[in-house]
Amino acid sequence: MRTGEAASPIPVPSIDLGAQLREVETDVRAAIDRVLASQRFILGPEGEALEEEVARYAGCAHAVGLSSGTDALLVGLMALGVGPGDEVITTPYTFVATVSPIARLGARAVFVDIEHKTYTLDPAGLTAAITPRTRAIVPVHLFGQMADMRAIHAIADPRGIPVLEDAAQALGATRDAEPIGRGSQGATLSFFPTKNLGAMGDGGMLLTDDEAFAKRVRLLRNHGQETKYVSALLGGNFRLDELQAAILRAKLPYLDGWIARRQDNARRYREAFAAADTRSMWHFELPYEVPGARHVYHQLVVRTPTQVPLREHLATRGITTSVYYPQPMHLAPCFASWGYKVGDFDGAECACHETLALPVHPELPAASLQRVVDEIVSLLRDRP
Ligand SMILES: *Cc1c(COP(=O)(O)O)cnc(C)c1O
C-alpha cells in the first residue's frame, strides 16, 4: 500500500456458500460418494430417506421431494385441481415463482396486500378477495417469518378453501406454536442453494398431513404414472434427484445450528443499532418479530426511505445488500393481462421502494456485522 492510501475494507458479501461448504464438506463428499457407488440417480433410497427426515424435522406426516420450489407450487396447485377460470389468492410482494404457477395453470391471481410490519398477507384483506371462483389461498412466509396462519385459517376453513403455504424461505419457522403447513392442505419448500437449507442445484418439496394429497403429488411428479408407462394423471417430470437428496441429507443436521446463528446475527444487529447514536436517524426500522414466533431469518430486511442511496453507499464500502423485491407482482409485465395497475397495493409497492436486506448468513463475522451497522449509522445520522 502506498502511503496516504486507505486500506480497502474486507468485503462483506450477502451470503458465503464457500464458508458453508468448508463446514459441511466431509459430510457432503461422503453423501455424493454414496450415490456414485449406488449408481441410482432418480427416485431411490436417498430421496425416500430425505422425505422421512424432512417430514420429521418439519413435524408433518408426508413430504414429497420435487424438482424446485417453483415446481412444488405448480404441482401443489395441480393436485388441488386449479385450472382455467379459477382464482388463487396470494400477495403481490413475493418472488415471481409464487405467482407464475397460478398463471401457467390458466388461473388468475387475486392479490391481497401485505401487513406493514411482517410483509406477509394481511388477513384483514382476505375476506373481500374471496369469490365463488377462489380455489386456493397461497400465503407466503416471507424472509423466514410466518404469515398469520391462525387468522387466515379462521377465514379459509369455514368456507372450505384449501391453503397451500409458500414456505420456501421458512423451513423451521413457527407461529402461535405451530410449524409451517399445520392445518393447511400443504406447504412448499425450496432448496435453491441460497435458501437456509440449500442443495447444490435445484430442489424442492411439498409437505402435507393429507395422505391422499401426498399420493397425488407423488403421481404428478412422475408423469402421473401409477405403474411404469401407465399414466393415470396428466403430470410431468418434477422429481428431485438422488445427488441433491443425498447432499440435503448431509446438510439437514446443520440447519438448526445455522438458524440459531442467523437469529444471533439478528440480535447483534439490534444491539449494535441500539448502542449507536441513532437518535437523529429518522425512519429506519429493524425487522419486526411476531411475539412468540420463531423467525428463521432467511433474510434480515430493514426499512428506510433512503433505500437507493443507502444501498449505493454500502456498495462503495464493499458491503453487498439486496432488494427483495424491486417490483411487486401485480406490476410484473408477465402478468399484465390481469390488468392490475400502480396504486392497487400500496403496502407492497411501498415495501419494494423501502426495504433492504442486510447480510445475515450464519458465517457472517461479528466484525463485518459491526461494520455494516457503523456504515449505515454514519450515512443515515443527521440526514434530513
Ligand atoms: C425461492 C422461492 C421460490 C422458488 O423456489 P425455486 O426452488 O427457486 O424454484 C418460491 N417462492 C419463494 C417465496 C421463494 O423465495
Q: Is residue 42 part of a domain?
A: yes
Q: Is 319 left (phi over 0), alpha (psi -120 to 50) or beta?
A: beta
244 touches ligand 1 (CB under 6 Å): no
98 touches ligand 1 (CB under 6 Å): yes
Q: Is residue 335 part of a domain?
A: yes
For residues 328 and 307, the answer to whether their CB atoms sit within 8 Å is no
Q: Which of 71, 91, 93, 98 to mutate to test the pocket of ligand 1 (most atoms within 8 A of CB)?
A: 98
Statement to judge: residues 370 and 287 lie in one domain: yes
Residue 213's domain comprises 17-112+120-253
Q: Which amino acid is residue 65, in one-letter code?
A: G
Q: Is residue 4 part of a domain?
A: no
- Looking from the CA of residue 190, the nearest atom of ligand 1 is 7
299 touches ligand 1 (CB under 6 Å): no
Tally of domains within the chain = 2
Statement to judge: residues 220 and 281 lie in one domain: no
Q: Which amino acid is residue 240, in one-letter code?
A: L
- Looking from the CA of residue 141, the nearest atom of ligand 1 is 13
Ligand 1 centre to CA of 63 (Å) is 17
For residues 232 and 219, the answer to whether their CB atoms sit within 8 Å is yes
From the CA atom positions of the chain, what is the Rg in Å?
22
Of the CA atoms within 13 Å of residue 217, those in its CB half-sphere come to 32
Statement to judge: residues 66 and 205 lie in one domain: yes
> Which set of grid coordinates corresponds to residue 29?
463428499
Statement to judge: residues 235 and 263 lie in one domain: no
Q: Is residue 11 part of a domain?
A: no
Last residue of a domain, one of 253, 284, 316: 253
Specify the CATH number for the domain of residue 208.
3.40.640.10
208 touches ligand 1 (CB under 6 Å): no
181 touches ligand 1 (CB under 6 Å): no
Q: Is residue 166 part of a domain?
A: yes
Exposed, middle or buried by CB within 10 Å (0-12, 13-18, 19+), for 220?
buried
Last residue of a domain, one of 200, 230, 253: 253
What's the rounded Cα separation, in Å, for the pair 262 and 258? 6
Specify the CATH number for the domain of residue 268.
3.90.1150.10
Of the CA atoms within 13 Å of residue 97, those in its CB half-sphere come to 21
Tell me phi and psi for residue 222, to 5 degrees.
Answer: -125, 55
What's the rounded Cα separation, in Å, for the pair 263 and 364? 12
Statement to judge: residues 293 and 214 lie in one domain: no
Last residue of a domain, one of 253, 286, 306: 253
Ligand 1 centre to CA of 260 (Å) is 22
Q: Which of 94, 99, 121, 166 to mutate to test the pocket of ligand 1 (most atoms within 8 A of CB)?
A: 166
Statement to judge: residues 87 and 143 lie in one domain: yes
Statement to judge: residues 276 and 222 lie in one domain: no
Statement to judge: residues 249 and 274 lie in one domain: no
76 touches ligand 1 (CB under 6 Å): no
Statement to judge: residues 202 and 284 lie in one domain: no
For residues 249 and 49, the answer to whether their CB atoms sit within 8 Å is yes
Q: pLDDT by residue for the chain (384 residues), tens digit each?
A: 455 455 678 899 999 999 999 999 999 999 999 999 999 999 999 999 999 999 999 999 999 999 999 999 999 999 999 999 999 999 999 999 999 999 999 999 999 999 999 999 999 999 999 999 999 999 999 999 999 999 999 999 999 999 999 999 999 999 999 999 999 999 999 999 999 999 999 999 999 999 999 999 999 999 999 899 999 999 999 999 999 999 999 999 999 999 999 999 999 999 999 888 766 666 889 999 999 999 999 999 999 999 999 999 999 999 999 999 999 999 999 999 999 999 999 999 999 999 999 999 999 999 999 999 999 998 888 665
379 touches ligand 1 (CB under 6 Å): no
Statement to judge: residues 248 and 262 lie in one domain: no
Tell me phi and psi for residue 314, to 5 degrees.
Answer: -65, -40
Ligand 1 centre to CA of 97 (Å) is 6
> Which set of grid coordinates corresponds to residue 309?
442511496
Statement to judge: residues 177 and 307 lie in one domain: no
What's the rounded Cα separation, in Å, for the pair 83 and 301? 35
Q: Is residue 1 part of a domain?
A: no
- Looking from the CA of residue 191, the nearest atom of ligand 1 is 7
pTM: 0.97
100 touches ligand 1 (CB under 6 Å): no
- Looking from the CA of residue 192, the nearest atom of ligand 1 is 7
Q: Is residue 5 part of a domain?
A: no
Ligand 1 centre to CA of 278 (Å) is 35
Q: Is residue 61 part of a domain?
A: yes
Statement to judge: residues 146 and 95 lie in one domain: yes
